[in-house]
Structure 1
Amino acid sequence: MQQNHDVLEQAIEWYVKHETAPLSLAQKQDFEQWLNEHDSHQQAWQQVTHSQQIFANLPLSSAQSLSTITKANQSRRHVLKSIAALSISSWLTWRYQKELGISAHLADHHAQIGEQLQLTHLTQAQVALNTHSAINLDTNTLWLKYGEAHIVCQVPLAISSPHCHFNAELGDEFILFDDDKQVRFSALNQRFDIVAHGQSYTVDKGHTLIADRNSTRIVETPRHMTSWTKGMLSVSQMPLKQFIAELSRYLHGSIRVAPAAAQLHISGTFSLTDPKQILSQILSTFPELTLNGVPNVWQVINKKP
């Protein structure tokens, strides 16, 4: 994933060089060499140039939002790079949300971004779906397609997700989260034996397994991993970067935190009724922070100069 990001960054750099001044002969040769080094370079270049065309057709209100990044003291090169990054993100977000919409409508039950859905009519289990989540359910199997679910079993069930599976008995209560990056399993009322990324684990009551393809750890369940079931996001001394990553799950688009602001810490309990209001609260709490970019598409939190 990081490699793909690096190639996109290189493509953006080349795009900026093309737009800011005519390339020298040496630069043209370097560009051709870079372009032909790997298929991923050609794909990234096509993605950059294609996204510019899409971005040019965005509604005026979105284009006007770019004024937040085009302050007088910014160079044309910096502005072009920002626009390139914004437009790529616009295109990727559009494509991802389109695919997500198709996937969601193929699921038995799904919660949209920012929604928390209580499924009280099911006979197999009591289920609460967190933001951006979907399940399929039959007589004795519950499949978490993506996202996060709080489940209390009313019958024995086989539980599966893309990277995790286990058997649950009547009365078992747990939270399961699974996306492309990470699996999180919280044992709420007893010990569980589960399989995550092909490995077997035992998770005691009150503990959470956090696993990705490179590492696994079991910790006492942090309160932010369960507070959503009560409609809250509750944290204690959480780094801003991690907090925004959690909050972003409830918001459309992408929000990133610049390194200069990443290590600020957040404590408090926030209502998930209006996730955008939480973002406003954070900016009010830390007046040294600024939020730039295109709302609902791509934004960056940074410290003011």
Structure 2
Amino acid sequence: MEQAADWFARLRAAPADAALRGQWQQWLEQQEQHRIAWTYVERISQRFDSLQPQAGAAHQTLASLRRTQRSRRQVLSSLCVLSGGATLGWLGWQRHWVDDLQALTAGTTTAVGEVRRQVLADGTLLWLNSATALDVQLDGQRRLLTLYSGEVLIETAAEARPFQVQTRAGSLVPLGTRFSVRQQGARTLLNVYDGAVRATCAASAIQRVANAGQGLGFDASTMAATTPACAQRQAWSQGLLVAQDMPLGDFIAELADHRRGHLAVNPLIASLRVMGTYPLNDTDQVLAMLESALPVRVSRRFDWWVTLEPAEK
């Protein structure tokens, strides 16, 4: 994807250079991963710049790419060969470009960078994280929350009707509790801060109960063992990102959820440790804070393509 971004910049700077277009065409046709990465860069650029591809050959190729039908699973399978910061960037793009119909038509959504508090009719409190899409159904029999993308922090109201959270990985039934649910690709991540939650895999029906102070991850077929829940994970509901000895790679992956465009970190510095409290409503300020505290520099290929690189010596 870094190569795709470089080609994008070069073609944009010299739209009439036929030789350059020919070299780009050769690069594009070398591997399927090149075509996928190019599509990613081109689609991100459209969100920030209405400029259309200026080379005729480029326009025809992009049109062909748009007509090619790939399932989400096929695309992700192809992207498994990508590594490091590029993979983090793709995952961020995949989370922000919610392209399934259910998420697009969800009754409750937040934009990228938006965090919102909501009170349901039964008194349950919800905090919706950035780029979240969900539906809420309250009737005489049950209370059902269906999470399609993003993350929600839930503080359930005590009443007789059962409360259930449904995700693509399975279901969660709280037992009088405060907990967060995050959809990350095909996996659901659960953190329980008060009470307990029973998680069930959709396909295998494997079940496990996570108690206060525990978390777990699962997909439709498998469920991991419980791990300690991080209380600081709730800080996003207050517009903050709290890091306590967090790897820089993990930190940037969290920050990318609150920023439009591509945000990644060079794998050479992904293991640097981050400490402190950072404001999610100003990601540029966060990047400046990282640059002043760590041996890193912020590289801006475009306004919408940012990568953290090792500081120049």
Pairwise TM-score range, normalised by the shorter structure: 0.5 to 0.7
| Deviates further, 284-293 or 244-253 | 284-293
Residues 1:299 and 2:302 aligned together = no
Aligned to 1:110: 109
Q: Could you tell me how far 1:215 is from its partner in structure 2?
A: 7.2
Q: Could you tell me how far 1:152 is from its partner in structure 2?
A: 1.7
Q: Distance in 1 between matches of 2:279 and 2:21?
A: 49
| 1:223–1:235 Cα contact (<8 Å) kept | no
| 2:96–2:257 Cα contact (<8 Å) kept | no
* Structure 2: stretches of 5+ with no match in the other structure: 12-17, 52-85
Aligned to 1:165: 171
- Residue 108 of structure 1 aligns to which amino acid in structure 2? G
Residues 1:138 and 2:142 aligned together = no
Secondary structure at the aligned position of 1:99 is classed as coil
Residues 1:148 and 2:155 aligned together = no
Q: Could you tell me how far 1:263 is from its partner in structure 2?
A: 1.7
Aligned to 1:125: 124
Aligned to 1:247: 255
Residues 1:97 and 2:100 aligned together = no
Aligned to 2:210: 203
Q: Deviations over 1:178-205 (max 9, x none)?
A: 1215321111212322114643222121
- Residue 238 of structure 2 aligns to which amino acid in structure 1? K
Change (3 A) 1:300 1:181: farther
TM-score for both structures, normalised by structure 1:
0.67
Change (3 A) 1:94 1:209: closer
Secondary structure at the aligned position of 1:132 is classed as coil
| 2:44–2:261 Cα contact (<8 Å) kept | no
| 1:211–1:217 Cα contact (<8 Å) kept | no
Count of matched residue pairs: 252
Q: Could you tell me how far 1:298 is from its partner in structure 2?
A: 2.2
Residues 1:187 and 2:192 aligned together = yes
Q: Distance in 1 between matches of 2:40 and 2:262?
A: 20
- Residue 174 of structure 2 aligns to which amino acid in structure 1? A
Q: Distance in 2 between matches of 1:275 and 1:55?
A: 19
Q: Could you tell me how far 1:134 is from its partner in structure 2?
A: 1.6
Secondary structure at the aligned position of 2:226 is classed as strand
- Cα root mean square deviation, aligned: 4.1
| 2:96–2:112 Cα contact (<8 Å) kept | no
Aligned to 1:63: none
Q: Could you tell me how far 1:286 is from its partner in structure 2?
A: 2.5
Q: Distance in 2 between matches of 1:95 and 1:193?
A: 25
Aligned pairs (5 A) from 1:1-305:
41=32, 45=35, 48=38, 58=49, 97=97, 99=99, 106-123=105-122, 125-139=124-138, 140-154=143-157, 155=159, 156-169=162-175, 171-180=176-185, 182-196=187-201, 198=204, 199-211=206-218, 216-286=224-294, 288-295=296-303, 297-305=304-312
* Structure 1: stretches of 5+ with no match in the other structure: 36-40, 61-85
Secondary structure at the aligned position of 1:237 is classed as strand
Q: Could you tell me how far 1:177 is from its partner in structure 2?
A: 0.6
